[in-house]
Amino acid sequence: MNCNSVRKYFYAFIDNELDVERNIEILAHLDMCYECSTKIEIERVIQNRVKESVLSISAPDSLKRSIAVMANPRPSFFSSLKEKLFANGVLKPVGAFVSLLLIITVFIVILSYNMQNEAFHIAESEYHHMLMNDMETDIRSKNKNAIKGYILDNVGLDVDLPDFRGNTKLIGASLSTINDKSVPLVYYMIGNVPAALYIGRDFDLNLSKAKRELINDMVIYKTDGDCGDCKIISWQGDDNQYIMISKINSNRMIGVLTSI
Amino acid sequence: MISTKDELISHIDSIYRSALYLAKNPEDAEDLVQETFIKAFKFLDNNKKIEYEKAWLFKILMNTFINQYRKSKSNPPLVDFDTVESYHASVEEEALNGPVMENKEKFDDLLDSEVKGALEALPDDFRIAILLSIVEGFTYNEISEILGIPIGTVMSRIYRGKKILKEELRSYAKGLGYERRQE
Ligand SMILES: [Zn+2]
């Protein structure tokens, strides 16, 4: 083999892609040809540098955490809600003794916060603010797990986010303050109407004037916002309380929340 | 051998690196990685068996990327560069159209600038083949599987891609005392 034909095989040689015979031919040539062995050394040095440089990139910790969360999902509050509401694809009628027990428990827990509905007011004014400002999100993503990771990193809350049907899109999230606590706000577009979802632990909600809808064993509270246009729904998840605000009517909100 | 989710997760850095080069900005890269793992976990949950998990994950990554690319009409179509001539033409065109990368600063921080520049000089299709070969150590056969292209195309992309890389990084090699003679 002459130098030119040897050099044609340089990359395949470095990459171990040659058959045994050709490999031996190349090795033999490199042994006696100073020029070729220098050239192949250069190729190796350059490739190693590219390799080392690219290998120094690693995935961000927040991404690693959210992938780890995805690998071992807890049963989601929303998926169980969906199952309860939509057995056989039809909204099941209210009833059952279990439901009654649950509503009593939830009610006692929530009524013990017998205070002003500051959270609703703040949530609504934040929603208006958001409409005015064209939604200033801290993170923009349509990916549920990216948003979950962001909330876990910044507020330390491990939250369930609902699945929505086709015409509802996740947009992003930001942080807000309600009752001196940092509260994550998740933004959606329901059709072309924005909606905001507030998630937290200790909203001081007084729900005595809110309408209660008992859909199987889930209690969903419905109320009007101060502006009259905004509708608010609220419910208690496994760990967190949820407040959702939008200008679409509350039954439609409940609808998109639970149907897929 | 049956892979576990933990074994899949052990490849996250590799997947992220390639996603970053495909999506060209960290935010989209993260979404791409998430999608890839969601699909992979779903597959595992259905108790399906995987032969060689790293190559398999990369194949999911590529498919996810290509599907997203097709869906978003705002992005330019995937160009198949198969001649060095079209490569030069494309570099000029790219210069005219301005930088492709969003969040360029963030991306810059991640890689030493010389290598980054050299990799950017490569056409997209060459670059991914080169990364799979040099960085991730896949064989030509595996790369052909991952990218869904004939092995001959893999070989020519790698051959030409590595030549371009060498041209771009020649001064570095010189600095190390190689290349005394230059023809
Ligand atoms: Zn020679």
Tens-digit pLDDT profile for residues A223-249: 887 776 788 888 887 778 888 888 888
Q: What is the pLDDT of residues A124-175, one digit of tens each?
A: 777 777 666 656 677 888 888 888 888 888 888 888 887 776 678 888 888 8
Query: CA B40, B44, B49: angle at the middle one, nearest 5?
Result: 110
Name the more confident of A128 and A91.
A128
pLDDT of residue A137: 73
**CA closest to B40 among chain A residues:** A71
Identify all chain B residues contacting A58, using CB atoms and an 8 Å cutoff.
13, 16-17
Answer yes or no: do A50 and B172 touch at CB < 8 A.
no
Take residue A27 and report the two structure tokens written for it: 């090795």
pLDDT of residue A31: 94
Tell me what ipTM this predicted complex has: 0.76
Q: Which of B35, B158, B173 sits opposite A45 (nearest CB)?
A: B173
pLDDT of residue A165: 64
Q: How far is A74 from chain B (nearest CA, A)?
A: 14
Q: What fold is seen in the domain A117-259?
A: Protein Transport Mog1p; Chain A (3.40.1000)
For residue A1, the one-letter residue type is: M
What is the C-alpha separation between A207 and A107, in angstroms, rounded?
Answer: 9
Residue ranges in A156-238 assigned as alpha helix (H): none
**CA closest to A58 among chain B residues:** B13
Query: Measured between CB atoms, does B5 come within 8 Å of chain A?
Result: yes
Residue B121 has pLDDT above 90, yes or no: no
Confidence of residue B182 (pLDDT cuts 50, 70, 90): very low
Task: Report the candidate in B107, B151, B113, B112 with the shortest Cα–Cα distance to residue B129.
Answer: B151
Q: Cα-atom radius of gyration of chain B, to the nearest Å?
A: 18
Residue range A38-61: average pLDDT? 91
Chain B interface, best mutation among A56, A57, A140, A144, by max B CB count within 10 A: A57
Q: CATH code for B112-183?
A: 1.10.10.10
Answer yes or no: are the C-beta atoms of A222 and A169 closer than 8 Å.
Answer: no
Q: Which of B6, B13, B173 sits opposite A59 (nearest CB)?
A: B13
Lowest mean pLDDT among A50-54, A69-73, B26-30, B62-66: A69-73
Domain ranges within chain A, ordered by starting residue: 3-55, 73-115, 117-259
Backbone dihedral angles phi then psi of residue B17, each to the nearest 5 degrees: -55, -50
Task: Report the candidate in B134, B103, B117 with the shortest Cα–Cα distance to residue B24.
Answer: B103
Q: Which of A73-77, A141-145, B152-156 has maximum average pLDDT?
A: B152-156
Give me the percent of chain B exceeding a pLDDT of 70.
Answer: 68
Name the more confident of A123 and A9.
A9
**CA closest to B135 among chain A residues:** A51
pTM of the model: 0.54
pLDDT of residue A77: 53
Residue range A111-132: average pLDDT? 62
pLDDT of residue A73: 63
Take residue B173 and report the two structure tokens written for it: 């090699």
| List of residues 6+ apart from B29 with CB closer than 8 A | B16, B19, B20, B22, B23
Answer yes or no: do A60 and B41 touch at CB < 8 A.
no
pLDDT of residue A216: 56
Which conformational region is residue A246 in: left (phi greater than 0), alpha (psi within -120 to 50 degrees), or beta?
beta
Length of chain A: 260
Residue range A32-48: average pLDDT? 92
Answer yes or no: do A53 and B111 touch at CB < 8 A.
yes
The burial class, CB within 10 Å (0-12 / 13-18 / 19+), for A135 is: middle
Cα within 13 Å of Cα(B72), Cβ side: 11
Name the more confident of A68 and A126.
A68
Task: Report the candidate in B46, B58, B48 with the shortest Cα–Cα distance to residue B8.
Answer: B58
